[in-house]
């Protein structure tokens, strides 16, 4: 397992004309994986980023950001089309960086909270399935997979649990579509985080893991069932990446989106430095 960090720890939106210093910074703090949260693809030039990553020997992952207006299940065909175009740009960026994974909740925009009637919910689900099937075909053509992240009930009403995520993967029916599990969301939504990890792996759909504490601060300082998660990852032979995605109020553009109003870590570097050290010991 390689360990890494997500750029949300320090800055948002990521832009290659300003933020390439984070590559060296992440490597110096002990990261092996550099996960780029791409809010605006126009801000990311693959060539200099790929050179910086190669120079430090870091593996890349591309992570999507699905705010309002990015929804592959929206009833408006124009919204679905623009969202698929965004995912396609993430796929091409990943391929240009030598990355084989685009992670994040590509099934819908964050913030959905609607008690939809069953028929509307079913129609929406069908739109999501059709859209993701098309995205998976495109991703496969570029040697990239899509890792879908279940989010907690306060962030979406569409996919909250591994069980729901596996149902979505099964309905899409494409080998390039799997799950991206985040310990923060597992902590909130699963009765047994270890069992959820095993279920995803046994279905052949465990593509990616985010390590995030229950307060979104430093991994290892809170209540996440770390031992159960680590034991499950070892038992299933997980050989993918484990990336820290945590936040601080210092990154104001994302703090509001994740409802983070108070300091949860001494500083951003502590999240990476101590979190990576904790995970290295935990997963050894």
The 3-state secondary structure of the chain reads CEEEEEHHHCCCCCCCCCCCHHHHHHHHCCCCEEEEEECCHHHCCHHHHHHHHHHHCCEEEEEECCCCCCCCCCCCHHHHHHHHHHHHHHHHHHHHCCCCEEEECCCCCCCCCCCCCHHHHHHHHHHHHHHHHHHHHHHHHCCCEEEECCCCCCCCCCCCCHHHHHHHHHHHCCCCEEEEEEHHHHHHHCCCHHHHHHHHHHCCCEEEEEECCCCCCCCCCCCCCHHHHHHHHHHCCCCCEEEECCCCCCCHHHHCCCCCCCCCCCCHHHHHHHHHHHHHHHHC
The predicted structure's pLDDT at residue 252: 67
pLDDT tens, N- to C-terminus, the chain (284 residues): 999 999 999 999 999 999 999 999 999 999 999 999 999 999 999 999 999 999 999 999 999 999 999 999 999 999 999 999 999 999 999 999 999 999 999 999 999 999 999 999 999 999 999 999 999 999 999 999 999 999 999 999 999 999 999 999 999 999 999 999 999 999 999 999 999 999 999 999 999 999 999 999 999 999 999 999 999 999 999 999 999 998 776 776 776 777 777 777 889 999 999 999 999 999 99
Provide the terminal-to-terminal Cα distance of the chain, rounded to the nearest Å.
9
pTM of the model: 0.96
Question: Topology of 2-283 in CATH?
Answer: TIM Barrel (3.20.20)
The predicted structure's pLDDT at residue 23: 98
Residues annotated as catalytic are 149, 245
Q: What b/e string do you get for 2-22 counting C-beta neighbours within 10 Å, with b at 16 or more? A: ebbbbbbbbbbbbbbeebbeb
The predicted structure's pLDDT at residue 258: 75
Q: Which residues sit opposite 241 in a β-bridge?
A: 2
- Length of the chain, please? 284
Give 214's Cβ-side CA count (13 Å radius). Answer: 12
């Amino acid at each position: 397992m390689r360990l890494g960090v997500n750029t949300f720890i320090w800055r948002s939106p990521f832009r290659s004309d300003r933020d390439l210093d984070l590559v060296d910074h992440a490597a110096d703090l002990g990261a092996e994986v550099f996960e780029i949260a791409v809010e605006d693809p126009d801000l990311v030039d693959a060539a200099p980023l790929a050179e910086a990553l190669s120079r430090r020997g870091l593996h890349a992952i591309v992570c999507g950001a699905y705010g309002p207006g990015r929804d592959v299940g929206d009833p408006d065909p124009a919204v679905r089309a623009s969202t698929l175009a965004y995912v396609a740009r993430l796929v091409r960026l990943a391929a240009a960086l030598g990355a084989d994974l685009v992670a994040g909740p590509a099934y819908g925009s964050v913030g959905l909270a609607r008690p939809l009637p069953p028929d509307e919910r079913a129609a929406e689900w069908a739109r999501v399935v059709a859209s993701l099937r098309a995205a998976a075909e495109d991703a496969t053509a570029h040697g990239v997979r899509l890792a879908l992240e279940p989010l907690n009930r306060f962030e979406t009403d569409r996919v909250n649990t591994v069980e729901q995520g596996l149902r979505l993967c099964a309905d899409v029916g494409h080998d390039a579509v799997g799950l991206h599990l985040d310990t923060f969301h597992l902590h909130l939504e699963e009765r047994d985080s270890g069992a959820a990890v095993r279920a995803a792996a046994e279905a052949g759909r465990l593509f990616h893991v985010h390590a995030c504490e229950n307060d979104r601060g430093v991994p290892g300082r809170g209540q996440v069932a770390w031992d159960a998660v680590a034991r499950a990852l070892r038992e299933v032979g997980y050989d993918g990446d484990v990336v820290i995605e945590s936040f601080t109020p210092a990154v104001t553009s994302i703090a509001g989106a994740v409802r983070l109003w108070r300091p949860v870590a001494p500083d951003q570097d502590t999240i990476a430095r101590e979190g990576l050290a904790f995970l290295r010991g935990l997963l050894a």
